Every structure is written in C-alpha cells, then in structure tokens.
Chains A and B, each alone.
Chain A
C-alpha cells in the first residue's frame, strides 16, 4: 500500500534562512508525489508535483523539491524563507495511477520567525 511519512511535526526557521520539510514515501510502482500547503481554515493549495523527468522539481512561491529514488524521499525546500511561508505543509502520493486519490502525510507545520 502507498504511504507517506513526514517525520517532523514542526519546523522552525528564521526568515531568510533556507528551509527543508522532509517527506519519505513507500509505493509499489512509479511514485506520483505532491506537495500542498494549507493556511488556517483554508483548503489546500498545490505547490508542486513529481510525475517523471528531472529529479529537481520547481513549484510555486519559490519552492522546490528533490525526488530521490534511492532514499525514497521527496523533501520540500526553499532557499530563503519568508514569514508568509508559515503554514501547514502536506506531502502526498497518488494511491494508484496519476489522478487517483491522494494519500497524505500527517503534515508539518512550518514556522518562520522574523
């Protein structure tokens, strides 16, 4: 069965510093991986996805993620954090083929201090 793990409940960084939010996955077959961000009492906003191709995926708001097949990881990164990046971040994997339901990690709260 597909699964996603986000080992950190919370990540704290100072504004201007690089940030990393970790995600590891377990899938059978090719992984279809996603990152979403959620602000309080809001739905999810799509950040980026990995379907195939380059291991480094660039997404919205300056975020990027690196797909590492050997480590089964898909960590979210940003070179310089903003206070406005503070939110809840979810890593997700398609349960089956691309476009099927998503299996979400438990989420990581990112807190960026000024």
Chain B
C-alpha cells in the first residue's frame, strides 16, 4: 500500500515552453502533498506544500508564478514549470502525507526534467 506515482518519469523540453508533472497517490487519499527539488548528488529542497482545495504554500525563494501547483483532488497534485530555462533542469520529487500514519510521507519515483 501507500504508493505514489509521478508522470512523466523524464521529460526533455525546449527553453520557453511549459511542462506539467503529475503526482498521484494511488491507494490512499492525500490532503497534503509536497514538492521537492533535487540537484545531482545533493539533498532534497522543499519547494512548496500543496493542500487539496487551497493555494499552495511556497518556500522562500521559489517563484510561485514559475512553478504552478494545483491540488484539485485528494489523489492528484500537479506541478507546472512555466517558461522553462536550462537552470530549471533538475529532479523533481513529490511526496504525499498519509492521514492514517503519523508523520510518514510516501515519495514518488521522481521526474527528471531537462531543459535544452
């Protein structure tokens, strides 16, 4: 149980285009999801907290107009990278908090974004 999926697993796009990444909780409902960014051989940095039915909470330094987050249902959150630039190339990982298990988060497999 407690599976989180992400789609796509990898994507290549051109500078200036937008890319949408989906995060789904497959067998549980997630009122809260988190989006992280990971650079090669580095730690995960929290980008934003996504709450179902409300606006996302962004971390300091993360441009909310560039990284659009939508959490329209209890099983789906999306991250859209708008007007992508090569410096946006990274590994994006989402996680979902299960309401039944105190403190645990379940992570998706990640999405590798490359902007050319």
Contacts and interface: CB of A to CB of B under 8 A. Distances in A.
Interface string A83-114: 00000001000110011111111110000000
Interface string A42-55: 11111001010000
Interface string A20-63: 00000000000010101000011111100101000000000000
B107 A49 contact: no
Given A41-B112, A99-B32, A46 B106 contact: yes
Given A104-B44, A107-B42, A107-B43, A99 B110 contact: no
B41 to A, nearest CB: 8
A101 B102 contact: no
Contacts of A98: 102-103
A46 B44 CA distance: 14
Interface residues of A, number: 24
B67 interface: no
A99 B103 contact: yes
Contacts of B43: 90, 104-107
Nearest to B97: A99
Closest 4 CB pairs of A and B: A98-B103, A44-B107, A43-B107, A43-B109
Interface of A: 32, 34, 36, 41-46, 49, 51, 90, 94-95, 98-107
Interface of B: 4, 6, 32, 34, 41-46, 49, 91, 93, 95, 97, 102-110, 112
